[in-house]
Each structure stands twice: as C-alpha cells, then as structure tokens.
Amino acid sequence: MGVTASEVNELRQKTGAGLMDCKKALTEANGDLEAAIDILRKKGQKVSALRAGKAASEGAVVAVTTADGKTGVVIKLSSETDFVSKNEEFVSFANKIAQLAIENQPADLEALKALPYEGSLTLGEKVLDMVGKINENIQITDYEKVTGAGVVAYNHAGNKIGVLVELSLPATAEAAAIGKDVAMQIAAMSPVSVDASSVDPSVIERELAIGRDKALAEGKPENMVDKIAQGNLQKFYKENTLLAQQFVKDGSKTVEQALKAVNKDLSVKNFKRVALG
C-alpha cells in the first residue's frame, strides 16, 4: 500500500529522521507508524554498529547545577566531526541530556542512558535514533556528578570543556564568582588533583622514578638521588595540583590563597573536568 505525505510528515515529526528514510520505513511497515519507528530505530542500531570503529573525538560537553547550587552534573555527547558537533540540533540535544541528568541525578552513565526521554524511548534509544538520522558515531561518553555545600559549573567556549567545582562553603555570589575563576583555571591548566594529598600514588611513584633517572643521567651522586627526586616531586605538586598552582588571574597568589582572600574557610574539596578528545 502507498503512504501519504501526512503520514510521512507525522513520522518525521516523531523521529526527526530524513524524509526518504521515513517514507521507506512506512512503506516497509505497510503504513504502521509504530512499526516504522522500530524500523528506523533498527536502522540507527545498524548504523551505530557500522560506525562503532570511527573515532568520536568531537562533540559537546555541558555542565549544569541545581538551582540551590549544591549538585552539579557534566555530560559529554561525542561525535565524529566538528561539522556535526556545531550543529544547533546536536548542541540542543546535549543540553537536553544535561538537563535530564540534573533533574534525575542518575547514579552512573548506564543509568543516565536508561532514563525515559520521550514517549516510549529511553535516552540511549534516542541516541541511536540520532545515529540513524545523522549517520555518524554519536555516543554519550561521559557523565560526572558532584554534590557538596556549594557547586559551581563552567562551560568553556564552544562546549569543548565542562568543569564542576565543589566548594567547602555554599555558593553565595562571592563564593560562586571565585569558584568560576577556579573552574576556568581547571579548564586551562588541567590539574591532576586538588592538592598533594589527593594525588594518585601511582602518579607519585612515576614522578619519583623520573626524578631519580634524571638525577642519575645528570651524574648526580647516588646518595643525593632520592633527595633530588623529592625536590622534583614538590615542583610537580606546585605545577600540577590545583590549590598549589599559581592563580592565573593573579600570579602573586596561589589558587588556595585566592580562595582564602574571599573567605578564610573557603577551599575546593573536589572537581571534575571533562573535555573533548
């Protein structure tokens, strides 16, 4: 049986799929709208499988917080090309995912994908529909959640990087302002942890080993090697842990000193940095 233009348009409105794809799906489904939706979803799954090997290094990262400033989430929606990632519909979809995440606060990435999205679709199934429509490997590849006394979100220009900063105090206007500055620092400098005490032990061992090898290569006395390695480790902490870093907006202070200048009890307890690539 033939399909009408209004039926094709209805399917297109429901799925966002291309005109010819909708017409073919309806024809295959003998005009059954729900069956046609399933056919399009299956097409999306097939396209997803075909393109699974394609690198999804572009996309959009979105960070948002609750109205009370106590919880934040950041999501990454990945695509293969920046042509797709800059598409208004793609960016809008990424923002909708972030809103869905902040409203429901799922435990992890899989729980996020399982959330109802629209009608009978889950979010994960909607992503597959996007794959079928755009014909690229699109995936939700990251989801982080932070809860605390005060949480600040920052989105770097072009949605390339999203940052959440957990403060030790509520995010009042003054605290939120310095919190955003710190989030911008995290986006730019990519620290490995909040402070020396939170650096992964494997990173410490690697830095010590590098310091020892460098000292030996420079012909330093063996009885001085460990001391030199420790000195190199302290330099690593200063350059790569957030609170010890030189504050980008005021080089005369560390990040910790900049926070204390606002409130002596203000500090950063945790942060999440999600970036494309």
Six token digits for residue 215:
């000292």
Looking at the structure of the chain, the number of domains it has is: 2
Q: What is the pLDDT of residue 1?
A: 56
Which residue segment(s) compose the domain that 95 sits in?
58-169
- Cα(111)–Cα(77) distance, rounded to whole angstroms? 15
- Cα(79)–Cα(212) distance, rounded to whole angstroms? 42
Q: What is the pLDDT of residue 74?
A: 98
Q: Note whether residue 275 is domain-resident.
A: no
Residues 6 or more apart from 232 whose CB is under 8 A from it? 207, 208, 210, 211, 214
CATH number at residue 45: 1.10.8.10
pTM of the model: 0.82
Q: Note whether residue 116 is domain-resident.
A: yes
CATH number at residue 85: 3.30.479.20
CA distances from residue 141 to 113, 221, 257, 273, 277 in whole angstroms, order as listed: 10, 48, 35, 14, 11
| CB 274, CB 162: distance < 8 Å | yes
- Cα(143)–Cα(204) distance, rounded to whole angstroms? 27
Q: What is the pLDDT of residue 110?
A: 95
Same domain, 20 and 104: no
Q: What is the mean pLDDT of each run of 10 residues along the chain (277 residues)?
A: 83 80 91 88 75 82 98 97 90 97 97 92 90 86 98 95 98 97 97 96 94 91 93 95 96 97 98 95
